[in-house]
Structure 1
Amino acid sequence: MSNDSPRILVMGVGNILYTDEGLGVRLVEHLEARYDFSEQVTLFDGGTLGMRLMGPIMECDLLIVLDAVLGGDEPGAIYRLTGDDLRKSLAFKNSMHQTDLVDTLIFCQLAGHCPEAVIIGMEPFDYETMHPEISPLAQERLPLMAEVALKEIAAHGGSFTPKSA
């Protein structure tokens, strides 16, 4: 890997016990099952790890968070968020995640390295029902969300190839 290639961390977050709150984790599983990624791209199931995510976050140059996003649009809507809009992501609200991801990024900055952050998210259909599977709507829209995530990876110099069946 050349030294000028940004290190990209693709992190799915959410609580997989609450339907669509787990869709970020399910998207990481979807991507891992279907693609091989270049060495500067790391996929990571962040679950609800909170402050324990600091290590992996501090080792990357770009953080792509995959999560459920409350953006006010129709369920299934796909979002790309940066800057102040990050707080629409469930990981950036003190939801069922152990720690607000904004706090984790602030601690990373205080510790000396805070990467650029982008959220690729989907408006959830249901994130309150205790059920380990995402909703049929979220399942149907997952490949579209994956395409947006893959475009983001490619835009920052990462590459991927489909796995052979």
Structure 2
Amino acid sequence: MSPVIATILMVAITVVLAGVLYVWASSLAEGNTDGDLTLYVFDAEDAGGDVTTGTDDNLVRVTMTQGSGINWSSVSVKISVNNDAPITCDRDSGDGVDTDCMLVEFGDSSDSEWTIGDGVTIAENGQDLCTAGATCSIEVTITNVREGTTLDESSTVAQ
């Protein structure tokens, strides 16, 4: 093969690769055109205290450690205990509608947003979700219901 043909082939291959990389990079850039990319990080840990046969045990504490404030009306928190079906936990609104678990806010609870440093204690609410003396594996899923996006999935144990 002559050096001229080899050079032409190398240039052609370089141009094709540059075009492929350009198309790939531009499609990545189009993935977030609204300029509102927010990453959330939550820390889930055992709430402390012993798990009993009662129906009001504190199971997990979840604290936001990174992200912008999100309105509570946009947040859904679900737990799965020992790989059982997920249960939606609600903030105690005093409306008489109860779920098997509830969210008790800590941090700045004077506003309607979950912000960095704020958190919730996930507690049983009339249902014994974690058996006394056992170690319960708890998976917590936090979702932005308005956007339909999962903000965090964490696992911890309650003892």
TM-score (norm 2): 0.33
Q: Which has the higher contact order (CA 8 A, sep 6+)?
A: 1
More helix by share: 1
TM-score by length of 1: 0.32
Query: Whose strand proportion is higher, 1 or 2?
Result: 2
